Amino acid sequence: MTAVPIEVIALADERQVARSNKDFARSDQLREQIAQSGWIIKDTSEGYLLTEAPPFVITAHLGAFVDQRADSISETTVVLVIVDGWPEDTHASLTALLDHAPSHVRVLTVDCGNIDGAGVVVHELAKVHQNLDEFHFTQTLAELGWANVINAAAAVSSSEFFAVMDLSTIWEGDALTPLLEVFADPQVALSGWRGVNVDVSQEWREFTSATAGSVDAILGYFLIARTSVAREIGPDPKAKFYRNADMEWSLAIRAAGYEVVIPEGELPLRQERHHGYHDSDPEYREKQSKKTYDRLLQKFRKTPEILHKGKDHGN
């Protein structure tokens, strides 16, 4: 095991002082210096832990990511995949996506913490796939925040369309082209694989599965938006966890006057175990999900006119 250089320890100690003084700008600068020296600092209850950096470039924080790459990803469609562990799922999901995506797609991966070596899997795939961009952070997804990652990725994308895909989603064919067809209607701003509608008879406390056509919300397993709309109306930055945040985001887009639509027919997609839900910390999952749902109700329950005009709202 390589000993931590004295100068890196000095930077880490200085960062501890900066954090104690709530000088977070200086703390971020020092984290970046430590990363440039080939080490990763992880905050712990006892102070910090230093480990050797993996074989890829690490970006200090989401602000630096946006500053360095704003508007730089310009293919017709960008597909964001957030990697928060699960190396086997990471390999299977990204490989299937890269095998089946049309040539105009750019895959943007944000690796949160290289958990269990998932970031290394991304790095190895990026070596052989020119349409895969990799970005790595030492922070976990809980530290970065689900919505913050999406908003940052939208900010660096100047593509016409911006998609978000979960690691549990596996492509078995071209799932994108049927989705893009619904955007021929200029009022459509959001589409995706699976949708839901609000059950107003339950005081908005339940959502029901939706069929093709106009829907209230799209689930985050695979969704796609006009990039201009995603940048204007992104998910609420308070949403640290995905659950209910995808529905909150959809309703915000509807509230702005846009249509949210699921295409006709089955898409060539399947879902494997959704680790992001089933294997997340139950206490954290329920706490963050409740916060988001309570916020959703506060924002939208008094404006039922934003819902789609069908008759499947539980009336």
CATH number at 77 reads 3.90.550.10
Q: How many helices (H) and strands (E) does the chain have?
A: 12, 15
| Weakest-pLDDT range from 69-83, 114-128, 187-201, 288-302 | 69-83
Query: Cα Rg for the chain, rounded, in angstroms?
Result: 20
Does residue 22 sit in the same domain as residue 120? no
For the beta carbon of residue 125, count every other beta carbon within 10 angstroms: 18
- Whole-angstrom distance, CA of residue 82 vs CA of residue 137: 11
Does residue 136 sit in the same domain as residue 180? yes
Does residue 45 sit in the same domain as residue 82? no
Strands 222-226, 206-209: pairing kind: unpaired
Reported as a single tens digit per residue, the pLDDT across 7-53 is: 999 999 999 999 999 999 999 999 889 988 888 898 888 899 998 88
pLDDT class of 315 with cuts at 50, 70, 90: low
Q: Does residue 205 sit within a domain?
A: yes
Does residue 92 sit in the same domain as residue 39? no
Does residue 205 sit in the same domain as residue 291? yes
Does residue 71 sit in the same domain as residue 11? no
**Residue 314's pLDDT is what?**
64
Q: Does residue 314 sit within a domain?
A: no
- Whole-angstrom distance, CA of residue 250 vs CA of residue 100: 26
- Whole-angstrom distance, CA of residue 77 vs CA of residue 123: 21
pLDDT class of 74 with cuts at 50, 70, 90: confident
Does residue 289 sit in the same domain as residue 235? yes
Using DSSP, state whether 156 is helix, strand or coil. helix
Q: Could you give the percent of the chain with pLDDT greater than 70?
A: 98
Reported as a single tens digit per residue, the pLDDT across 102-119 is: 999 999 999 999 999 999
Q: Does residue 311 sit within a domain?
A: no
Q: Does residue 28 sit within a domain?
A: yes
Q: What tokens were used for 131?
A: 């349409």
Q: Does residue 284 sit within a domain?
A: yes
Q: Does residue 57 sit within a domain?
A: no
**Residue 112's pLDDT is what?**
96
Does residue 106 sit in the same domain as residue 144? yes
**Residue 57's pLDDT is what?**
85
Q: What tokens were used for 289?
A: 């999900």
Is pLDDT at 212 greater than 60 in this prediction? Answer: yes
Higher pLDDT, 139 or 1: 139
Mean residue pLDDT of the chain comes to: 94
Q: Does residue 315 sit within a domain?
A: no
Q: Does residue 42 sit within a domain?
A: yes
Is pLDDT at 311 greater than 70 in this prediction? Answer: no
Residue 250 in contact with residue 216, Cβ under 8 Å?
yes
Does residue 270 sit in the same domain as residue 291? yes
Residue 192 in contact with residue 210, Cβ under 8 Å?
no
pLDDT class of 54 with cuts at 50, 70, 90: confident
**Residue 53's pLDDT is what?**
81
What is the total count of domains within the chain?
A: 2
- Whole-angstrom distance, CA of residue 6 vs CA of residue 12: 10
Does residue 70 sit in the same domain as residue 21? no
pTM comes to 0.85
**Residue 143's pLDDT is what?**
95
Does residue 40 sit in the same domain as residue 70? no
**Residue 80's pLDDT is what?**
98
- Whole-angstrom distance, CA of residue 315 vs CA of residue 115: 45
**Residue 60's pLDDT is what?**
82
- Residue 156 lies in domain: 62-306
Does residue 266 sit in the same domain as residue 192? yes
